Structure 1
Amino acid sequence: MLKRWSLVFLVFWLTACGERPVEQIILPETDQRQARHLRLDNDLQVVLISDPRVDKAAASLDIKVGSRQDPRDRQGLAHFLEHMLFLGTEKYPDAGEYQTFVAGHGGSHNAYTSFEHTNYFFDIGAGHLDDALDRFSQFFVAPLFNAEFVGREVNAVNSEYQARIQNDYRRTLDVFKELANPEHPFTKFTVGNLATLLGGRGEEALRQDLLDFYKKYYSANRMTLVVIGRESLDELQAMVAPRFSEIENRGVKIKPVTETLVDELPLRFELKPHKELRELSISFPMPNVRQQYHKKPLHYLGHLLGHEGEGSLLYVLKKNGWAEGLRAGTSLEYDGGALFSIDVELTPAGLAAVDVVTDTVFEAIALVQERGVENWRFQELVDNARLQFNYRTRPSEIHEASQLAHNLHYYSPSDIIRGDYAISDFDAELIQSLADQLTLDNAVIAIT
């Protein structure tokens, strides 16, 4: 009885101190779970999802900091920090304790670093969430970054780089970065290797730069947390709030990127792949419209250009024997800009006639510019999105937690689950203004 009343008092105390729901989270009609959004007193946003039926609980913490913040003379530092973070804390100093605990209770763990995000996530047998969160939270409160592991993890990062050095996607990306504006942070080397991380300056200097990076950017106001468990929302809140409120809020603010992604347009380049691959990719630098997610103007354009029905661009290309598939939509989004891309999977005949295929793509774009921006087409997307949301196939808990933690940086808390499907406001002028930027003079054309 004492334990139960202690929990009730803790929840009351947390609510009184400001950890309270901010907005009601919209769930699909078929989703019987309960969800709650909180903003802790250190400005860390939290979403809790209670599902008594889950066999595995999961959590993800996403930091809106990534390779974009790497110093030019330490490229790969954000990724290296991701590796070093899991190697002991003041409360749990054993470097492998967290990993052993998660694996020993039926779980898994991982993390990734991208241009603007670092995302940490795990799942575990549902009955062990409380203890796992106690370990997980400490990585963002008091990590050790022990010097003895610096050399080992630099080599681990370098091995990761070497293992994917022949990947055709990475090779295409590397070529694009070489041709893009060198002042744009996207051109930095994301993964890191021995040369970029150590650079002849030694492990002690690298560790100091790592500590400086952590203290400068790992701030509660840049973090979002999603926890999914079988406990009630009040019980989940009692697990999360006291632990993650200890993360320091350093008030970090990062301005949007102002540099142009590509200085000289149009840009055309060719690559010879290692594997059998034939692709035409046409990309257009665009403004960032991610905050206008209820309008989804680039999604609308991608829907029209990526349509597969009779009379579509892909239909014409297939009819001529030039293409096997086509994708159209946003390929890159960041604070300050975006890339809209049309990727055509070519047949051997399509590769031989790639200039004609390119002309056909621009003919389809011209049709969209002239006659494509219409309200009835938009309403079709609205209806389809509503059905897709209400009857969506829910991902595993670990993947959903990771995805939602990322989404919370961009969608209102009420739309954290619905945001990818939220489309309601037809803005013909905005759509037309973006469609008019899909021109040859604004294109990056890659032929693989």
Structure 2
Amino acid sequence: PQGTILYTPCETPAPDSVPRTQGQEEECGVPSKPHVSVLGQRVLSLISGRAVKKPRKVRPQGRRMMRGYTTETGGGGDDGGHIPPPPQVSHNASVLPAVQVLDTPTKSPFDKKEYRVIRLDCGIRVLLISDAGRFIAGAEEEDDSEEEEIDQNEEDEVDQSEDDDDDDAEIEDEEEEEGDIKGGKSGADSTKYLAAASLTVGVGSFEDPPEIPGLMHFLEHMVFMGSEKYPKENAFDYYIKKHGGHDNAHTDMEHTTFYFEVQECYLHESLDRFAQFFINPLMKQEAMTREREAVHSGHEGRGSILSCLKKKVWAVGLYSGNDESGFEHNSTYAVMSISVELTDEGFKNIDKVLCIVFQYMAMIQRAGPVERIFREIQQMEQLNFDYAEEPTTIENVENLSEAMQIFPPVDYLTGDTLMGDYNPQIIKECLDALVPEKCNILISSKTFDEQNICHLTEKWFGTKYSVEDIPKSWEEQWANLPTNPELHIPATNHFIPDNFDLLSSEKDVPEYPEKLCQDDWGELWFRQDLKFKLPRSYCYIFLLSELPLQSPRLAALLDLYLNLFQQQVMEDVYPANMAQYQYSISASERGIVIKMNGFNQKLSKLLDLLLHHMETFGDNLHEKAFQEIRQQQMKSYHNAILKPGIVRKDVRLSIIQQVHWTAHQKLAEVKNVTSKDLLEEFVARLFPSCHVQMLVQGNTTASQALDMYSMVKATKEKHLVIEKCPLPELRTLELQSGCWVARVNGVNSADTNSSVVNYYQYKEGSLMLEVILEFIQMVMDEPVFDVLRTREQLGYHVFCTNHNTFGILGLSITVNTQANKFSVSHVDERIEAFLEEFMTTVKNMKDDELSELQETLTSMKQTIDLTLREEVDRNWSEIVHAEYVFDRLKRQIELIKNITHESVINCVRKITSSDDNTGYKKLSVQVAGAAKPEGRSPPSLESLMGNTGIVQLLEPNGESDRKLPVERFITDIGNHKKQLRLYPVTKII
């Protein structure tokens, strides 16, 4: 192992307590990567214009989807019994082995953590991090420093709405009604401030034998399956989650990283269990068989390539750079990739698109190194480093342990972030390599499958492809490219800030946001930050409108409007993005959500830019662009319909929500809309029909927040508004007692993937019920994974989730499986069998175990916010739900003490048990994959264009279905909903 990190709030030993050996310096001792590094990556990406944006780091293949903070009962440790507290560890220097102290990493002036790098006798280099100063500072802050908000976990599927699969991100709704239990902490963002450790081994997938690809990834899985000292499978998972943490691992090309976080007092015992992975793993044959099955299962501104292609309506997106994954950047080579998302017209003119790409390359080669651009990039990287928000502990140790594979100790923190001295020669060498002769071209299109022109098949994944020489005619074009006057290097960036003063407050800052303004147009909430002491601010805006609730047509027009808006604003907002300002604009079932953050000096300038584009949207709408974006939108709906996870979500929400428009319905509507429809039916009615909710928080004064609210209000006032707009409210339908099944065949007949969710509706929520359900989910999370995924191998993706659907609470278990292995009815039965077993586990829970779990849940809710964003997001959740319980976490912490064994048993029985239970309300939504997909292809977009938008539900079939009366199968959602009563509007306050 070349890099290990221990991250703990405890202080590291004092300098004089660590014995030093001869020589305090150490060379890196690891293979160096090609000297493209940070400088080369940033400047190479000039060809797309993403010159100052750090490429996105791609996560390598992992052991599994990262699950959030949870705990498990009924096992753990090597004896499956109670886990004793860790032994007391002496910090006396006499018990420490001899170590060599190496150079201390360079850190930001605002970084309060202390670092020490040592090398053990065995050769392992260790980075120790002490963050005791944050606890001292935190104690001086107001009580809100102990608050944090997250969405309940669905593995790493955390959006405000629902249990989307991670591959469902293509068409997400930010449905605030499905925000899960607010105030809870049980997702990847739940354990924000714990002790953590990460170990990176300098061996990865490049070491796989040619005849056994994936062997290293398989080994990464296997070390978690028990050791000689702790032989119980998943004992490490159990221990970590029982003590408020989580763990994971991933395999890259040249390294493999294992990491975990846990409550600080359990770090020592956790490290011992962690070390056994690498000392004496069991590698049992039975476990190997089961895990083998599991494993199978740029410059966008003016003058850029994208700007030029968009004018011709040939492209809607361009992404370039080096993603820093092991595949694109390793000790053997580095690559520069450019991905262009083409329109249909662009696909027809792909040779001309390539000419424009190479024209840009030729242009920047002629221009040579431009020091101004380098200095802008260097300045922004330095500012981002100096004023960076604190990363999560587990993210921090993971990234740093990987950096230890590459950089010398002094550069552990800065090596992949900061740029060194200006070296035009290196830039020129990189630019000179960007020539057509060194280029490979990959073209991906579904039309190839329809035309049957891909005759080769990849061995492991069965992907169809073909390989051809680049046409000579193309090469001749590239050899004689004329200068393109539409292309030029980025202009000076006027969004780069130069004022980083921290603003003082003339009065005491309240503990929570206060309402600065409320009128017929909306409301403004504000809180000035004096805790994180960074020159950053956040501005969130919700334009609430009843329009998207009125029909699937208007909901589709909203999606279309936002896609067109983002295309129109892209060039102008690009400099802001490069200056580390971030913005997002997304559709909600109740309107539009705009989020912005960055250095406070020019945040209002970004807001003004976005509002200006909203006002001039119609003037900048061109028919050809409209047609292409509409086509892209139809493809997005089409791709969503092909995914079992999205269909599962759409069916469930269509049944339990008063209003929910599915991707099927929106596809059926959007195919017929015109640009005139968009402007008259939606855009002209948006501002007159909307109510504004707004939150400004950070290094901003109240007067500045009011100025920003006035900017939004002025935009709205330009539209004729007759009367005050009502706030749109969504309500939930109460399921009838008993079990109900909604089953549908997956649209993609070539896909074996099935998805089943068993949703158990409870009742109107309260703060106490929120806490009890979160406690139950915490207890259930590990065993549901262990039983249904690990033991029964039903699917790779198994999880349980709490739900808060407009104030109505519930619980669900989701299993994604394969139709050629298990039927959806079998999965349903196994979920029910698990719940019976889980009921026994809950009944047998001992008092000391209950107390320990209460303590864990309390500790998780008491962790301090690491970033301003965490506090802002928590406050925003209260505002958009109109509940305003800003001290929700404090109240929940007090209520945890009132959880009794009896209350947990009663809650589990009422939610999940059908025995003599009139309140039992279960909805099983089952999306069945194709059991025999061979020789089939996914349905084309054209084949779905005649779809009415109605999801066709199936009647029962098979022996197992006979256990349920036929009338319990929902075959018509609309008719079924007519039999259900509406819950009243419910706020959990």
Kept after mapping to 2: 8 A contact 1:80/1:154: no
Kept after mapping to 2: 8 A contact 1:288/1:338: yes
Once the two structures are superposed, residues 298-357 of structure 1 have per-residue CA deviations (whole angstroms, 9 ceiling, x without a partner) of 333322332x2xxx34333423454555311135x44375663202355899x4486555
Aligned to 2:957: none
Kept after mapping to 1: 8 A contact 2:545/2:590: yes
Once the two structures are superposed, residues 248-273 of structure 1 have per-residue CA deviations (whole angstroms, 9 ceiling, x without a partner) of 69341334435567999223445368
- Counterparts of residues 312-391 of structure 1 (less than 5 Å): 312-317=783-788, 318-322=790-794, 324=796, 326-330=798-802, 333-335=804-806, 337=808, 340-346=811-817, 351-352=821-822, 357-366=827-836, 372=842, 382-391=854-863
Rg larger in structure: 2
Aligned to 1:281: 757
Deviation at 1:99, TM superposition (A): 1.7
Separation in structure 1 between the aligned mates of residue 819 and residue 707 of structure 2, nearest angstrom: 58
Kept after mapping to 1: 8 A contact 2:544/2:691: no
Residues 134/111 of structure 1: CA separation in 2 closer, same or farther (3 Å cut): closer
Separation in structure 1 between the aligned mates of residue 626 and residue 768 of structure 2, nearest angstrom: 39
Deviation at 1:275, TM superposition (A): 6.3
1:50 and 2:548 aligned = no
* RMSD between superposed Cα atoms in Å: 4.9
Aligned to 2:695: 225
AA at the equivalent of 2:776: L
Instruction: Tell me the secondary structure at the aligned position of residue 776 of structure 2.
Output: helix
Kept after mapping to 2: 8 A contact 1:98/1:136: no
Instruction: Tell me the secondary structure at the aligned position of residue 513 of structure 2.
Output: strand
Residues 103/64 of structure 1: CA separation in 2 closer, same or farther (3 Å cut): same
Residue in structure 1 matching 2:742, options 267, 273, 279: 267
AA at the equivalent of 1:267: A
Residue in structure 1 matching 2:678, options 183, 206, 212: 206
Residues 355/62 of structure 1: CA separation in 2 closer, same or farther (3 Å cut): same
Residue in structure 1 matching 2:776, options 295, 298, 301: 301
Residues 211/280 of structure 1: CA separation in 2 closer, same or farther (3 Å cut): closer
Instruction: Tell me the secondary structure at the aligned position of residue 214 of structure 1.
Output: helix
AA at the equivalent of 1:363: A
Q: State the structure with bigger RCO (CA 8 A, min sep 6), 1 or 2.
A: 1
Instruction: Tell me the secondary structure at the aligned position of residue 265 of structure 1.
Output: strand
Return 5+ residue gaps in structure 2 as ranges: 1-141, 148-192, 194-388, 391-501, 503-508, 718-722, 915-920, 930-989
AA at the equivalent of 1:186: H
Return 5+ residue gaps in structure 1 as ranges: 1-23, 89-94
- Counterparts of residues 407-418 of structure 1 (less than 5 Å): 407-410=878-881, 411-415=883-887
Kept after mapping to 2: 8 A contact 1:75/1:197: no
Kept after mapping to 2: 8 A contact 1:111/1:121: yes
Kept after mapping to 2: 8 A contact 1:44/1:224: yes
Once the two structures are superposed, residues 213-233 of structure 1 have per-residue CA deviations (whole angstroms, 9 ceiling, x without a partner) of 41454113xx232433x34x4
User: What is the aligned residue count?
Assistant: 403
Could you state the TM-score of these two structures normalised by the residue count of structure 2?
0.34
Separation in structure 2 between the aligned mates of residue 268 and residue 133 of structure 1, nearest angstrom: 45
Aligned to 1:4: none
Deviation at 1:119, TM superposition (A): 1.8
Aligned to 2:605: 131
Once the two structures are superposed, residues 115-172 of structure 1 have per-residue CA deviations (whole angstroms, 9 ceiling, x without a partner) of 3453211233443224334445667xx8344154174356425414414633578444
Could you state the TM-score of these two structures normalised by the residue count of structure 1?
0.68
Aligned to 1:14: none
1:257 and 2:736 aligned = no
1:41 and 2:493 aligned = no
Separation in structure 1 between the aligned mates of residue 773 and residue 590 of structure 2, nearest angstrom: 20
AA at the equivalent of 1:302: Q
Aligned-residue sequence identity (percent) comes to 8
Aligned to 1:166: 639
Once the two structures are superposed, residues 36-87 of structure 1 have per-residue CA deviations (whole angstroms, 9 ceiling, x without a partner) of 5122132514243526643654322134558851424434133234346679
Separation in structure 2 between the aligned mates of residue 182 and residue 348 of structure 1, nearest angstrom: 26
Deviation at 1:183, TM superposition (A): 9.1
Of the structure 1 ranges 296-305 and 410-419, higher mean CA displacement relative to structure 2 is found in 410-419
Separation in structure 1 between the aligned mates of residue 824 and residue 662 of structure 2, nearest angstrom: 31
1:77 and 2:557 aligned = yes
Kept after mapping to 2: 8 A contact 1:415/1:422: no
Kept after mapping to 1: 8 A contact 2:794/2:815: no
Deviation at 1:210, TM superposition (A): 0.9
Aligned to 1:196: 669
